[in-house]
A and B are shown apart, each in its own frame.
Chain A
Amino acid sequence: MTLRASISFGQKHFQKKMDLEAPSHGVTALFGPSGCGKTSLLRALAGLDRHAESEVQFRDQIWQGKARWLPPHKRSLAFVFQEPSLFAHLTVLGNLKYAVKRRREQAAVDLDEVIALLHLNELLPRKIHQLSGGEKQRVAIARALAKGPEILLMDEPLASLDLQSKRSLLPMLEAVTWKLSTPILYVSHSLEEVTRLANYLVLMGEPGVLASGPIDEMLTNLDLPLARDADACAVMEATCVGFDEEFHLTSLGFSGGHLVVPGRVVALGKQVRLRIAARDVSLTLQHQQGTSIQNIFPATVEAFQNQGDAQVLVRLRVGEVGILARITQKSAAELGLTSQQRVFAQIKSVGLLH
């Protein structure tokens, strides 16, 4: 674990303690409803707010402890706020250089790479008021990266943007997380952003941190509210292993076999993330013949749980990955569903995340 923190949010009559651990690489999402304290937690980690009786440790550096307080400008982090918050008296390039000038000596960041990742080349000489909302946020993210932080804290960076800007920024964010090794702490209340970006998920609710773990395990954990959501889904990584020239299908390999998706969607050998919604998975006892469904895999029932009066949520293991299936209780009774039962999972559709 890279970041360990225990923050006490205290007013006179109200105490709330949050404990957090985040791994040393990849994107850790702090996910939860609005008002559950995600932003407050992030601000406390950055040292923007100071809470008594709290501790923050990043790698071997104590940022906050019993007798120690490191002010935010001495912490090797960068912060992206929900609003772009650019310096209005500087140009786009001026904003980036502001961060470069204050960079720590050991930080090795290629500013040109950052500019390319966020497609800023043509915006560099612009003044801030000439930028759109999406462009501003791209500059803000680039500025944070230009500092060469050891960890990047992002507070709902897409939340204030319109749909169009969100759509164009998400792939750039993905590129950032793939190309740069900087660990990212990403606050969001959008499950879509989280499933696309995160490797590790910290689930937050009213009382504080509810649970945390790798994203694939968290999404398919039947004891957590994520799996009970109407849009419950599982994510998995797969690699493009080939194309079917005759029927124009792409074959994606993972530990449970090969999935096919229509079209030539990714380059050979490239890793992609797939989302499989619980409602798109059905179960059979025998491998069906004469069906239009292409993706059928042998699976093991790991756990299941009634959902409402009519439905059952089933966690299956296909190869080494967990997926969810939502079926009716009637179907479950007819299948004679039991734990460790061998079944076939029919996957009707797959979402390609990147």
Chain B
Amino acid sequence: MTFTEADFQALVITLKLAAWTTSILLFLGTPLAWWLARSTWRYRFVAEAVVALPLILPPTVLGFYLLLVLGPQGWLGGWMNSLGLEAPAFTFSGLVMGSVLYSLPFVVQPLQDAFSSIGRRPLEVAATLGAAPWDRFFSVAVPLAMPGFLTATVLGFAHTIGEFGVVLMIGGNIPGQTKVLSIAIYDHVESMEYGQAHTLAGGLLLASFVLLMLIYASHRRFRFTKI
């Protein structure tokens, strides 16, 4: 079992990617989940289907289209180039964009479920007690949806760590910049370095297992009795 400098770099990039992705997703996913949970718009199902797409789409499909959009010739990449910015394909920021899309349902769906299960009543009570909308959201909805936030964070983080196809398509496997753990494992296996592959794969397996255990354990602790 060995752990090379390159492996360590891959680990750091992976954790950095997961942290960025999860933070952005919690920031963007919370209002989206809130809207999905509360909206009575009749075409809401369209939005729900879009959010769920990454669940079933092959990562290579998502990665392929992202490559087209984010590459120097793509509409976003090209537009950024024209502004004097680097096109996001084959960069870390490109990876973050891809991961945000790819892990979207893993953050939004637990949050949406958590917000829906609160129901309207606690918010109505808060309103009649004098709480303004933002106050209601932070003092009632967020604490009551805490188990959902925990699940969303852990799933979003773990799922980003496990990402392979999207990263391969838009990341380009550049060591020290876009090479993440899952790709490092693939490379080790390709070059018959099974020992090193074991170290990383086993580590990921263990970490994922521990994370999931934490979710289920915390759910037990956080489960509020229905009133």
Binding site for B on A (CB under 8 A): 46-48, 71-73, 75, 77-79, 81, 83-89, 98-99, 102-104, 128-129, 136, 143-144, 147, 153
Q: Are B128 and A73 in contact (CB under 8 A)?
A: yes
Does A85 lie within 8 Å of B130, measured CB to CB? no
CB neighbours (8 Å) of A98 from chain B are: 126, 129, 131, 139
Given A73-B127, A79-B125, A89 and B224 touching (CB < 8 A)?
A: yes
Using a CB–CB distance below 8 Å, which chain B residues touch chain A? 121-122, 124-133, 135-136, 139-140, 143-144, 146, 224-227
CB distance from B135 to the nearest CB of A (A): 8
Question: Given the complex, which residues of A lie within 8 Å of B143, measured CB to CB?
Answer: 87, 89
Could you list some 24 contacts between A and B, CB below 8 A? A73-B128, A73-B129, A73-B135, A75-B128, A78-B128, A78-B129, A81-B121, A81-B124, A85-B121, A85-B125, A86-B227, A87-B126, A87-B140, A88-B144, A88-B224, A88-B226, A89-B144, A98-B131, A102-B129, A103-B130, A128-B227, A136-B227, A143-B129, A147-B129
Smallest CB-CB separation from A128: which chain B residue?
B227
Assess whether A73 is in contact with B125, with CB atoms less than 8 Å apart. no
Complexed CA–CA distance, A97 and B226 (Å):
21
**Cα A147 to Cα B126 with chains together (Å):** 11
Q: With A89-B143, A89-B144 as given contacts, are A84 and B227 in contact (CB-CB < 8 Å)?
A: yes
CA distance A99 to B227 in the complex (A): 19
A60 to B227, CA, bound (A): 37
Nearest A residue to B125, CB-CB: A85
Query: Provided the pairs A85-B122, A98-B139 are in contact, do residues A73 and B130 lie with their beta carbons within 8 angstroms?
Result: yes
Q: Give the residue name and chain of the B residue nearest to A146 (CB).
A: B129
* Cβ-closest 7 pairs across A and B: A102-B130, A129-B225, A88-B224, A79-B128, A89-B143, A72-B127, A73-B127
Contacts of A46 in B (CB 8 A): 128
Question: Given known contacts A46-B128, A47-B127, A98-B131, what 9 new A-B pairs fall within 8 Å (CB)?
Answer: A73-B129, A77-B128, A79-B124, A81-B121, A84-B227, A87-B140, A87-B144, A98-B126, A102-B131
Report the minimum CB–CB distance from A151 to chain B (whole Å). 11
CB contacts (< 8 Å) of A84 on chain B: these are 227
- B227 near A147 (CB under 8 angstroms)? no
How distant is A181 from chain B, measured CB to nearest CB, in Å? 20
